[in-house]
Amino acid sequence: MTIKESTREQWSSRLIFILAATGSAVGLGNIWKFPYITGENGGGAFVLVYLLCISLIGIPIMMAEIMLGRRGRRNPVDTMRLLAAESQRSPRWAWLGWIGILAGILIMSFYSVIAGWTVDYVYEAAAGHFVGLTAETASAKFKGLLNEPWQLLFLHSLFSFMTAFVVARGVKAGLEKAVVILMPALFLLLTILVGYAATTGYFMQSLDFLFKADFSKLTANSILTALGHAFFTLSLGMGAIMMYGSYMPNNASIAKTTLIIALMDTLVALMAGMAMFPLVFANGLEVGSGPGLLFITLPIAFGEIFAGSFFGTLFFILVVFAAWTSSISLIEPGTAYLTENTRLKRSTAAYLISFIAWLLGVAVVLSFNTWSFSFPFAGTVKTDGLFDLLDILTSTFMLPLGGLAIAIFAGWVMRTEFAFQELNLPNKWFNNWYFTIRWISPALVILLFLHSLGVF
Ligand code: PFF
């Protein structure tokens, strides 16, 4: 094997690891994606399936992924190869790492385009452009942005550069400082927004929408979307969390850490929903209006509240940062692979991987305005444009299947004693986890897939 000597960095403490992994998990997936897919998929029943996926599939697989990363202490390709060898299994498991690196680049290509929109909204808020917005003018403003390819390209490039810049500097210098202040600030601001939403008179209706399960609204596709989103929002199934685990100190508890991360991630998503849906109902907006939901609802609110331009600017700055602490984890696996296996410096590797994602992102930018297409994909799933295609390909297929492979590896391929050593749990808890990762999580992923693809 051609792995450079492991003189690797480590997070300074368990708290920093929790913050960094939460920074990866909490991002556009929580604040932008969760509310709009919940709207598109009919509310409560979708949220329930999503929460079940987080608890029965996401949490056990996150423990497995962190555990593999910390034991391998390398990029995902070499970690999988090394751990397979340690248990006398096929080196082909390295493929799982490769697919992860690819998924990270594919997700990054559209993630930075959407993050670019949030950068634009920082300016819009600061310039006072939210004042007096109505449902119509807010929608028109958002559509106007999508029709400006050059502006979108500039924003996409700016965000791609910001990501590469941090990754180039390495985990400590680049990342630790950002997360310590930003995560708590985001939390606080979301709380203020939920408080404001509670004054609109539509809060109860929103809670009903979010938490009252009406299973007649649940389609086979919604179930698969909920499963995919559980992986996306927790950054699972592609080696990002494995990478972060590889920098984790040996003495930190993987189980406790995982629970905290999953809890915070879920809380932020639900709070984003509770902040946005009252505004949707109060302004007669469409719940299923798609990816523009965040960019249409919240500006209306900021236009109305006291010191709205100030709070609006602050809010969108925090969303940019939430996206930033996530995007760095998307290109970290590829960057670490190149740094650990070639003569490239870490910074060159980071810029190279970002450049590849950026190129594909240029096509995504165009797909929002000048270049649109739609075609059927995998039977029942229909895609609408390149963004949709990449989103469905990665979130709905690559991440859950990557997660399934991680579960199978941790539960069936790796020797039990290694997993036991690494997780360091009391027997009873280890057995519960082991049973779940061997049987429940894989079976659920497979069943949900077969059901959604119309097999039963
Ligand atoms: N979890 C991030 C979010 O919710 O925005 C997105 C993400 C980051 C997905 C890193 C996958 C990943 F590896």
pLDDT of residue 455: 79
For residue 376, what are its two tokens? 């059927």
pLDDT, one tens digit per residue, over 297-351 is 999 988 988 889 998 998 999 899 999 999 999 999 999 999 999 999 999 999 9
Output the DSSP codes for 295-350: HHHHHHHHHHSTTHHHHHHHHHHHHHHHHHHHHHHHHHHHHHHHHHHSS--HHHHH
The model's confidence at residue 189, banded by pLDDT at 50, 70 and 90, is: confident
Is the pLDDT assigned to residue 375 strictly greater than 70? no
Is residue 5 very low, low, confident or very high in pLDDT (cuts 50, 70, 90)?
Answer: very low
Can you give the pLDDT at residue 289?
86
Residue 450: partners with Cβ closer than 8 Å, 6 or more residues away? 456
pLDDT for the residue 383:
60
DSSP state of 4: P
Gap from CA of 201 to ligand 1 centroid (Å) = 33
The answer to whether the beta carbons of residues 44 and 52 sit under 8 Å apart is no
Question: What pLDDT is stored for residue 377 in this prediction?
Answer: 52
Which residues sit opposite 183 in a β-bridge? none
Q: 10 with 252: CB under 8 angstroms?
A: no
**Nearest ligand 1 atom to alpha carbon 104:** 13
Q: pTM for the full model?
A: 0.94
**Minimum CA distance residue for ligand 1 atom 11:** 235
Per the listing, tokens 């925090």 go with: 318
Ligand 1 pocket by C-beta < 6 Å: which residues?
A: 24-25, 27-30, 104, 107, 232-233, 235, 238, 240, 326, 329-330
How far apart (Å, rounded) are the C-alpha atoms in residues 75 and 430? 26
Ligand 1 pocket test, candidate residues 319, 330, 332, 397, most atoms within 8 A of CB: 330
Q: What is the mean pLDDT of residues 170-181?
A: 72
pLDDT at residue number 195? 93
Strand-pair partners of 375? 383
User: Pocket of ligand 1, candidates 22, 24, 390: which has the most ligand atoms within 8 Å of its Cβ, to mutate?
Assistant: 24
Largest CA distance in the chain: 66
Q: What is the total residue count of the chain?
A: 456
Which DSSP string corresponds to 166-216? HHHH-IIIIIIHHHHHHHHHHHHHHHHHHHHHTTSS-HHHHHHHHHS--GG
Expressed in angstroms and rounded, the spacing between residue 131 Cα and the centre of ligand 1 is 32
**The pLDDT of residue 155:** 98
- Residue 399 CA: which ligand 1 atom is closest? 11
Q: How far apart are alpha carbons 339 and 243 in whole angstroms?
A: 13
Average model confidence (pLDDT) for the chain? 92
CA gap 17, 252 in Å, rounded: 9
pLDDT tops 60 at residue 381: no
Ligand 1 centroid–CA 232 distance in Å is 5
Report d(CA 182, CA 177) in Å as an integer.
9
Q: Of 4-18, 178-192, 289-303, 390-404, where does the model show the most confidence?
A: 390-404
Residue 372 pLDDT level (bands cut at 50, 70, 90):
low
Out of 12-21, 166-175, 200-209, least confident range: 166-175
Task: Identify the residue whose tokens are 């609109």.
Answer: 200
Q: Residues 28, 255: contact at Cβ < 8 Å?
A: no
Residue 194's nearest CA partner among 179, 206, 185 is: 206
Q: How far apart are CA 118 and CA 326, in angstroms?
A: 14
Pick the atom of ligand 1 nearest to 30's CA: 4
At 199-221, the pLDDT tens digits run 999 999 999 999 999 999 999 88
Please, which residues bridge with residue 382 across strands? 376
Coil/strand/helix, residue 356: helix
Nearest-atom number in ligand 1 for the CA of 265 is: 4
pLDDT value of position 10: 80
When pLDDT is cut at 50, 70 and 90, the band that residue 385 belongs to is confident
Ligand 1 geometric centre to CA of 75 (Å):
17
In percent, how much of the chain has pLDDT > 70? 95
Q: What are phi and psi of 419, to 5 degrees?
A: -60, -40
pLDDT of residue 185: 84
* Integer CA distances (angstroms), 281 to 49, 83, 209, 290, in order: 23, 51, 10, 15
The residue nearest atom 7 of ligand 1, judged by CA position, is 235
